[in-house]
Amino acid sequence: FPLDVIRNFSIIAHIDHGKSTLADRLLELTGTIKKKETGKNEQVLDKLKVERERGITVKAQTASMVHSSNGKSHLLNLIDTPGHVDFAWEVSRSLAACQGALLLVDASQGVQAQSISVFHIAKERGLTIIPVLNKIDLPAAQPERIAAQMQSTFGINPADILSISAKTGKGVESVLQAVIDRIPAPQSDKNAPAKAFLFDSLYDRYRGVISLVNIQNGILRKGDKIASCHTRKKYEIAEIGIMYPEEVSTDILCPGQVGYIACNMKESSEAHIGDTLHRVGEPVPPMPGFKPSKAMVYAGIFPVDSSDFPKLEESIKRLTLTDRSTLHMDVFRQRLEDEYDANIIITAPTVPYKVLYRDGTEKFISNPTEFPDMSDSTTKVSEIQEPIVKASIIVPEEYFGDMMELCYSRRAEELDHRYLDAGSDASSSRIILTCVIPLSEIVTDFFDQLKSRSSGFASFDYEDAGYQKSDLAKMVFLLNGKPVDALALIVHRSAQDTIGRAWVKKLHKVIPRQLFEVPIQAAIGKKVIARETLSANRADVTAGLYGGHYERKLKHLENQKEGKKRLKRIGTVDLPQEAFFDILKR
Ligand code: GTP
């Protein structure tokens, strides 16, 4: 395929607006996949879903298609972008392999938070955007109104919008034609040193990591020795080809093409999204703007039964080895919990804090136990900063007050809002609310709160906004005067009393009474913030049994002895492991 007939594009959309459905229709229409009989399609999707849930394969929908227009065959490469709100950076990376994008908007739901964020990412990358209104078959569809919304939000000319139903197939042909007519061909130099842009990866049990690449310059062949610009590691291409829609070996990839490379990479972590591959001995400048993905959320994981440790370690290794998307905490938690029947405890997530020292050095910490004691007058720390994000929330007007309240309770700043539908009747207007909010405030239940307080109508997106000075402190909990390291927390000063009191109350509830009185305290530095006292109790497990039941008495005493083995001794207080986990779980 000469360059001028190649088109590289993505479908960008808010979740559920029909990205996968449209991709399927495009693949069917071009004969890349067989059109399934009604009903069968569902099954195929279902199968994928089961696989996804079991963590066996997570299919990226990157595929090549051939389509004829004006008697000329075109090679259309559809490049998948991750659908989750937390993968904004990866969306930006996948879009770097494209010249155009289909901006898909649900004609009944209208523009949502992610529609806006992905639009801006595509715009910044200079992509040609083809606006598409989907689901026009729905009775609730309001194509004209949503088109006006797209005009006011994105400056899109309503005349450029394609109206389709990905479900029925109506108008989908026009999408293919627009891809050919409106999106420019990639610009590549076939004589320049080979340069492949790595935008995604898959894991195959037999072949290891499969990198999805876009050939920016030159040609790559089977057997070529290649190297990564980022890791400097070297590989030999064992297999190379296109996704049609599964891997089809072609032994060669030419300029402008999109395809896969299998080169004996063992771990998914070797395939850095955004990395550039080149032939050994023919270095090329890497694609600009590459940054290795950085973990922004941390959590502790414990097996309830400590003898499960090796098994847990093994599973974690396997999950991170095979699947990049497990880098996402929710997916990861779900997978592990499925595998362990909730016999693991994942602690509340924390974020990486930045500690600045007087001598100009800095350090990132993610474990509360490493947090410096700011009340110490000899401290070498000058400032502590926390990661912040710029959040946008789109919500029907009637829920606006609740959203403001939620944002304020999470220390949001710079609140700003405007109407999304310019000049429309107020009764059904939606508002876009933007603010800067600490990352730590959204990593736990923010999204759930947002959904429940808006009856599911709010949509949310956020982007990294760097670090900001913050008044934080380490809160420790003391049982009988002894600190419990595993319970330490990093809290914002404004919330310290509330959090301290709530946790102390909870501890009081879950810790069984001991043979002596136990003070439970929350403290910051040397200052006690909250206190409860657990009164003494002499547990007599045989108290309820009267004479004669000798064997039963013995049995109870035996059980008690067994139970004691499972107690976790903290200070001088015996804490059953279950209670301990209960607290950690929050
Ligand atoms: P994620 O994979 O979660 O990002 O969703 P998606 O954007 O890929 O959406 P998907 O294709 O899974 O579609 C979401 C839902 O909308 C599914 O139930 C589809 O059957 C339905 N859907 C997609 N396109 C249409 C359409 O044109 N009309 C109607 N009525 N339903 C559609």
Residue 138 CA: nearest ligand 1 atom is 30
Does residue 19 have its Cβ closer than 6 Å to ligand 1?
A: yes
* Confidence at residue 382, expressed as pLDDT on a 0 to 100 scale: 92
> Highest mean pLDDT: which of 8-22, 47-61, 480-494?
8-22
Asked whether the predicted pLDDT for residue 566 surpasses 80, the reply is: no
Candidates 12, 17, 20, 21: which one to mutate for ligand 1, based on the most atoms within 8 Å of Cβ?
Answer: 21
Q: How far apart are CA 101 and CA 266, in angstroms?
A: 32
ipTM over 0.90: yes
128 annotated to bind ligand: no
Does residue 17 have its Cβ closer than 6 Å to ligand 1?
A: yes
Render pLDDT for 478-531 as a digit per residue (tens, 0 to 9): 988 888 877 788 999 999 999 999 989 988 888 878 777 889 999 998 899 999
Of 450, 461, 452, 457, nearest to 398 by C-alpha is: 457
18 annotated to bind ligand: yes
Asked whether the predicted pLDDT for residue 425 surpasses 70, the reply is: no
Provide the token pair at 176. Answer: 């293919």
Does residue 137 have its Cβ closer than 6 Å to ligand 1?
A: yes
Q: How far apart are CA 479 and CA 387, in angstroms?
A: 32
Do the Cβ atoms of 529 and 496 come closer than 8 Å?
A: yes
More confident residue, 295 or 568: 295
Provide the token pair at 197. Answer: 């842009």
Render pLDDT for 158-183 as a digit per residue (tens, 0 to 9): 999 999 999 999 999 999 999 999 99
* Confidence at residue 574, expressed as pLDDT on a 0 to 100 scale: 60
Asked whether the predicted pLDDT for residue 576 surpasses 80, the reply is: no
Residue 134 CA: nearest ligand 1 atom is 27
Average pLDDT over residues 466-476: 94
583 annotated to bind ligand: no
Describe the crossing of helices 113-124 and 143-154 by its angle, rounded to 10 degrees. Answer: 50
215 annotated to bind ligand: no
Does residue 41 have its Cβ closer than 6 Å to ligand 1?
A: no
More confident residue, 84 or 362: 362
Residue 15 CA: nearest ligand 1 atom is 4
Which segments of 229-327 are extended strands (E)? 234-236, 239-243, 247-249, 252-253, 258-265, 276-279, 301-303
Candidates 12, 20, 104, 174: which one to mutate for ligand 1, based on the most atoms within 8 Å of Cβ?
Answer: 20
Protein residue closest via CA to atom 14 of ligand 1 = 16
Average pLDDT over residues 381-398: 93
More confident residue, 469 or 423: 469
Distance 134 CA to ligand 1 centre (A): 9
* Confidence at residue 455, expressed as pLDDT on a 0 to 100 scale: 87
Q: What is the DSSP letter of 298?
A: B
Q: Report the percent of the chain where pLDDT is more than 90.
A: 48
Cβ within 8 Å of residue 225, ≥6 positions away: 234, 235, 236, 237, 279, 280, 281
Does residue 74 have its Cβ closer than 6 Å to ligand 1?
A: no
Burial bucket for residue 329 (CB in 10 Å: 0-12, 13-18, 19+): middle
Provide the token pair at 280. Answer: 């050994």
Asked whether the predicted pLDDT for residue 572 surpasses 60, the reply is: no
Render pLDDT for 219-251 as a digit per residue (tens, 0 to 9): 999 999 999 999 999 999 999 999 998 889 999
Asked whether the predicted pLDDT for residue 444 surpasses 90, the reply is: no
Residue 165 CA: nearest ligand 1 atom is 27
CB environment 503-529: b (16+ within 10 A), e (fewer): bbebbeeebeebeeebebbbbbeeeeb
Of 202, 194, 184, nearest to 229 by C-alpha is: 194
Q: Which of 89-93, 125-129, 390-394, 568-572 has the lowest mean pLDDT?
A: 568-572
Cα dihedral across residues 169, 136, 146, 171: positive or negative: positive
13 annotated to bind ligand: yes
* Confidence at residue 92, expressed as pLDDT on a 0 to 100 scale: 79
Provide the token pair at 242. Answer: 């296109």
Distance 77 CA to ligand 1 centre (A): 21
Q: How far apart are CA 226 and CA 278, in angstroms?
A: 5
470 annotated to bind ligand: no
Q: How far apart are CA 334 and CA 319, in angstroms?
A: 11
> Which of the four pLDDT bands, split at 50, 70 and 90, describes residue 550?
low
Asked whether the predicted pLDDT for residue 546 surpasses 70, the reply is: no
